[in-house]
Structure 1
Amino acid sequence: MDFLKILKSFEEFVYEALTWVILLPRTLVRTLLHPDRMTAYAAHELARTDDARFSDAVSPPLLLILCVLLAHLFDLGVRAQVPDTSGSLASVILASEETLLLYRTITFGVWALAGAAYVLMRARQPVNRDSLRQPFYEQCYLVSPFALLLSISVSLLLMPQSWANLTSACVTLTVLAWFWVAQAAWFRRRVRLSWWRCFGAAAIVLAVGGTVNLVVGYLLAHTAAGAIASP
């Protein structure tokens, strides 16, 4: 009986994974072209009580995880150099593919969490596990292509070729502009602020997420791996 349950679970996983071949690129393209529609779609699907939620798209958190995974595979294929982090906490994270993927997912999730928390505070709503879910899911749709393209641009930046550096700069500027405008439009729909305040709020979210990641990255790179084990 246990063996049959394992086979059934494996069957469901294989089918789900194969549907990603169609749903993943379609969800990404729809998000890039119509980010406001996709955030509204996330809110609509979360309100459903049946089992058919997100049946025609990849769910927002899963999309973020898959985008991080795709960016990681791209990084493995093109990276020419790896930063020297020997002896630091960063080396512990980089030593395992699982922890590295988890770390990258969380780092990009910081932007989604910052956007969700900001809109709740702006609307004077409580910030808790339940209230964060809907805006966080909506934010995950916006953060996913941002995570994929920004990670690819960083990987290109580590390549020695001049064309790679130029491409990295163009991709970075493009995805930052897209994310900034998409965030501003989302704030406009959620909290009904003026456009200039929405763009200011989007800039704050970008700055908060970037600052948190820079600080955490600096601490990981400059903290000895044995420090956390010391009494």
Structure 2
Amino acid sequence: MDFMKIIESLDEALYTVMGWLVFYPLTLWRALVHPLAMMAYAEREVSDTPEDQYDDAIRPPLFLFLSLLISHGLETLIAGRNALLTSNRGLEALVDTDLALLALRLVLFSLFALLMSVFMLRRQGLKLTHSNLRRPFYGQCFTTAPLALMAGIATLLPILDVSHGRMAGALLGFFTAGWYLAVQSLWFSTRLGIGRFAGFRQAAAAIMVAVSLFTAIAVVIGLSAR
């Protein structure tokens, strides 16, 4: 009986992993081309029963994790082992495995999804509860994932032994930042029923707070190693 349960678990795990090969690129394309529609889709699917949720896409938090996993894999392939993994000083010593580094990056990039969601709930005058926060947070994961993936690729392009690699990295970085800011501006504008410029101000404020927290955590980890 135990052996059969293991076989059944393996069957489900294999199908799930192989399904990612199909649904990850589809989800990434939809998130890049139709980000607002995907955010609305994520919020609608939260209300469905667990077995019916996200039947034609990757679940939002998993989508973010897989994007970071791909970025991490590319970094390992191109740049080699991250310096954080070999440091034994301060808080850096806690990041001693690839899984720990992935977990740290997942937390750091999730700050963007979290701050956007909290700002939205506050502007809507809604109470900050788990159920209210989950909807926008899941939607934000669909835009944070491409942000994390493209930002990771942008930092790797200058390392490649190709002509204009540094320029290509800078251009991709600017495009990524502009895409993310534009999407969030439209999201705030549409959801709050305000003008585009007002939506831009809301998005810029939330992004600045997220970037500040992101940087503060990175600085704390770096300073602790001195």
TM-score by length of structure 2 reads 0.92
Q: Which residue number corresponds to residue 131 of structure 1?
A: 132
Q: Matched residue pairs, number? A: 224
Which structure has more RCO (C-alpha within 8 Å, separation ≥ 6)?
A: 1
Could you tell me the percent identity over the aligned residues? Answer: 29
Q: Look up the equivalent residue of 1:117 and give its one-letter code.
A: V
126-135 or 76-85, larger mean C-alpha shift: 76-85
Give the superposition deviation at 1:155.
2.6
155-164 or 109-118, which deviates more: 155-164
Normalised to the residue count of structure 1, the TM-score between the two structures is 0.90
**Corresponding position of 2:195:** 194
Measure, in 2, the Cα distance between the counterparts of 1:34 and 1:75.
27
Is the partner of 2:51 in helix, strand or coil?
coil
Question: What's the Cα RMSD here?
Answer: 2.0
Q: Whole-Å Cα distance in 2 between the matches of residues 47 and 221 of structure 1?
A: 41
Q: 2 CA distance for matches of 1:162 and 1:206?
A: 32
Q: Which residue of 2 aligns with 1:65?
A: 65
Tell whether 2:30 aligns with 1:30.
yes
Mark the CA change 1:111 to 1:90 in structure 2 (over 3 Å): closer, same or farther: same
The verdict on how the C-alpha distance between 1:82 and 1:161 changes in structure 2, with shifts beyond 3 A counting, is: farther
Distance 1:160 1:81, change over 3 A: farther
Aligned twin of 2:205: 204
SS in structure 1 opposite 2:8? helix
Q: Which residue does the alignment assign to 1:53? A: 53
Per the alignment, do residues 133 and 218 of structure 1 end up closer, same or farther by CA in structure 2, a change over 3 Å counting? same
Runs of 4+ more than 3 Å apart: 80-86, 157-162
More displaced stretch, 190-199 vs 79-88: 79-88
User: CA-to-partner distance for each residue in 1:85-109, whole Å, 9 max, x for gaps?
Assistant: 552312431x201100111111110
The 1:9–1:81 alpha-carbon spacing in structure 2 relative to 1, beyond 3 Å, is closer
Q: Which residue of 2 aligns with 1:179?
A: 180
Residue identity matched to 1:72: H
Shift of 1:2: 2.4
